Amino acid sequence: MRGALAAAALLMARPAFAGDPVGLDPAIHDRCLANAKSEGAVVDCAGQGVTACLAFWKERDPSRDPFIVRDVCTDAEHQLWEASLTTAYDALIASTKVSRPEAVADIREMERAWLAFRDARCKAEVGLFGHGTGGAIAEPECLMHETARQTALLRELGKG
C-alpha cells in the first residue's frame, strides 16, 4: 500500500520515459545486463537505474520528498530485476531439462529456498533499521540487491 501511494504521488507528473511513468529508464538496466561479462558485473548493475531515476526527479521536481522518490525508484528497479530473474531462471530450467533433467527439481528447490532466505533477510534489515525512514527504504533496496545477486548466479549457472 505504501509503495502504491508513493507511486501515485509521482504519477501526477508526465511520464519520464516511454512506458515508465516513475522516471526509471529500463534501457539503463537492459544495457548494463547486456554488457555484463561476469557474475560480479551483473551484480554491479543493481542501483544504476535508481541513480538515474533520482537524478531525473531531482532535476524535474526537486520539491518532491526524496524518501518517497527513492522508494518508488528502488521499487521500480526491483521489478526490473524480478523480470530479469524470471528470464534467467526460465533459461536455466530450459537448458537443464535438456542436459540434466534430473537436476531440474534441485534448481526449483534452490530457488524456493532462496526466496525464503531473501524475504527473511530483507525483513531482518527492516527490523535493524526500525520502521522509520531507514526501515522504509531498507526493504526495497534489500529486495533489489538480493534479486540482482540471484539473477547473476542463475545467469552464471546457465552458462555451465
Model confidence pLDDT, tens digit, residues 107-122: 999 999 999 999 999 9
Average pLDDT over residues 32-56: 95
Q: Where are the domains of the chain?
A: 2-159
Q: Where are the alpha helices (DSSP H) in the chain?
A: 2-10, 26-35, 39-44, 48-60, 66-99, 104-129, 133-159
pLDDT at 30 over 60: yes
Do the Cβ atoms of 81 and 153 come closer than 8 Å? no
For the cut 60, the answer to whether the pLDDT of residue 15 exceeds it is no
Distances (CA, A) of 104 to 29, 66, 99, 112, 157: 28, 43, 10, 13, 12
pLDDT of 8 reads 40
CATH topology of domain 2-159: Substrate Binding Domain Of Dnak; Chain:A; Domain 2 (1.20.1270)
Report the C-alpha gap between 143 and 129 in whole angstroms: 15
Given a cut of 80, whether residue 9 has pLDDT beyond it is: no
pLDDT value for 136: 81
Asked if 81 and 151 count as a contact pair (C-beta separation under 8 A), the reply is: yes
pLDDT of 14 strictly over 60: no
Please report the pLDDT score of residue 21 as a whole number.
Answer: 62
At residue 13, the pLDDT reads 39
- Residue 67 is predicted with a pLDDT of 87
- Is pTM, for the whole model, over 0.95? no
